[in-house]
Chains A and B, each alone.
Chain A
């Protein structure tokens, strides 16, 4: 088969299509930068709160510090860096993730789990009474450097670190880290709280060089672990956390300090996003006027609802970062095509968005009863 000679010419059709779009005005780019700077200020202002969990390429090590302080020791024992331990699915503890925290909220026992589904990747998520909640945050940067991310959850900071192989140099700047967290498409999330890197932790990681310095310690003003979820204060669970089955962690107890309330006030200026309490049912939502950055969202199901409506269920993020922005209904012949559009809600620009998947449902009114008509998804 011969090559296509005029591929450039054929593709120029596409270029013309997109030229019709016209670039957004420069002011739009500047607004985008401004938003990022706003988030950066929020990071700089972060301080005073921390509970710390260090997950460093299989080594989990926490030691208690002086009162009011927790020392987070990021230990990467020789030979356990990179994908040699929990960074590798094959080497992950049998049965899945490491339990890094256990607490009780509203009579339910919760576990904060860390799992590494791929090298140099750490995901944190919550599980309660044996089932996983749809609340997770992952860090999956390429294996080019030590990776340290601190996330703030209900005013407590979880510090995660992944030490990769072949570390040559590290030059994290807070803004770069911030953009890493926020520019990856789905916003990073962790059960309902803004995700904010802690500058202190990252600064400490900068001292890691070439993979040779494998015992870096830094301190954070700390309190305990999770203090509240969904506004509910937590109390320590009666069952001790499961130990990570890694070499370094096996000798290091997980912290058992009772949780205390973090200080609040101007030192922690970033707005907090909350997750609606889990009811086991999708959250009923309506179109939010003024939503921006709309994009089509595939729906999960569409079933008749009432005399002349359809109940559409779909997955989306947490408000106001992700809201239902528009619903298109095209009724014609034997089909009712419904297109769900989701986007950023008003006020989302001031939020450190989190990437929690949440099931939502909305009632879509029709011009006539659905009857035998099918409901194709306009987003597919």
Chain B
């Protein structure tokens, strides 16, 4: 079945904050997330004739963004290892100073990626699985564990405020 292509502009405006927030959680660096997000949307724009007709343009764009994030992380790690003297420590770019940011970005990489894509990106578990290249069951288990961990970090304070 042919899927009618959606216009780029409104889709872009609607999706940008979600992808940016998701990538910020994934890479824990807002400036890097901005760069990755812009590049992912630029690629979507370049191929919009095809991407816009996909069942899930969001999923495609998140996959691209995740790949960009992975390559960036891999290269940074690699070059740090190779060039020890040239190894600047990870940059902690200013982040939203809210407890949920602290809690989510403290999760292990796979967990925070799943959380970001599911709850910030709004992808389905199946789309998260596809974007991350893992099985759907893995995503479900990962999210379950993430929620459990976050409960221990976030819930007590909520109680004390309540």
Q: Does A26 contact B (CB under 8 A)?
A: yes
Q: Does B75 contact A (CB under 8 A)?
A: yes
Partner among A14, A295, A314 whose Cβ is within 8 Å of the Cβ of B21? A14
Q: Does B137 contact A (CB under 8 A)?
A: no
- B91 pairs with A3, CB closer than 8 A: no
**A-side contacts of B43, CB under 8 Å:** 179
Known: A24-B38, A30-B42, A121-B78. 13 other contacts (CB 8 A): A7-B147, A10-B100, A11-B119, A13-B98, A14-B25, A14-B104, A32-B39, A33-B46, A136-B79, A136-B82, A185-B73, A293-B35, A298-B91
Convert A1-44 into 0s and 1s, putting 1 for each residue whose CB lies closer than 8 angstroms to a CB of B.
11111011011011101110111101011101100000000000
Q: Does A380 contact B (CB under 8 A)?
A: yes
- A140 pairs with B75, CB closer than 8 A: yes
Bound CA span A5–B93, Å: 29
| Given known A117-B78, A185-B32, contact A26–B12 (CB-CB < 8 A) | yes
Give the interface size class of chain B. Answer: 35 or more
A-B contact pairs, 25 of them (CB 8 A): A3-B151, A7-B147, A10-B100, A10-B154, A11-B21, A11-B100, A11-B119, A14-B24, A23-B41, A29-B38, A29-B45, A32-B38, A33-B46, A118-B78, A132-B85, A179-B43, A184-B68, A184-B71, A184-B74, A185-B68, A185-B76, A296-B93, A357-B86, A359-B86, A379-B93
Q: Does B120 contact A (CB under 8 A)?
A: yes
- B38 pairs with A183, CB closer than 8 A: no
- B86 pairs with A134, CB closer than 8 A: yes
Bound CA span A1–B150, Å: 10
What's the A-B contact tally at a CB cutoff of 8 Å?
Answer: 167
**B-side contacts of A62, CB under 8 Å:** none
Q: How many residues of A contact B (CB 8 A)?
A: 57
B146 to chain A, nearest CB (A): 8
Partner among A4, A21, A29 whose Cβ is within 8 Å of the Cβ of B20? A21
Bound CA span A296–B35, Å: 14
Q: Does A171 contact B (CB under 8 A)?
A: no
Nearest 4 A-B pairs (CB), nearest first? A185-B72, A357-B86, A23-B16, A3-B147
A151 to chain B, nearest CB (A): 15
| Given known A10-B154, A298-B88, contact A123–B82 (CB-CB < 8 A) | yes
Interface residues of B in 17-69 (CB under 8 A from A): 17-18, 20-21, 24-25, 31-32, 34-35, 38-39, 41-43, 45-46, 68
- B74 pairs with A140, CB closer than 8 A: yes
Q: Does A321 contact B (CB under 8 A)?
A: no
**B-side contacts of A198, CB under 8 Å:** none
B154 to chain A, nearest CB (A): 6
Bound CA span A202–B12, Å: 34
- B147 pairs with A4, CB closer than 8 A: yes
B55 to chain A, nearest CB (A): 23
Q: Does A61 contact B (CB under 8 A)?
A: no
Bound CA span A294–B30, Å: 12
Q: Does B161 contact A (CB under 8 A)?
A: no
**B-side contacts of A11, CB under 8 Å:** 21, 100, 104, 115, 119-120
- B17 pairs with A23, CB closer than 8 A: yes
Bound CA span A3–B147, Å: 5
- A117 pairs with B17, CB closer than 8 A: no
- Residue from A5, A14, A380 having most chain B Cβ neighbours under 10 A: A14
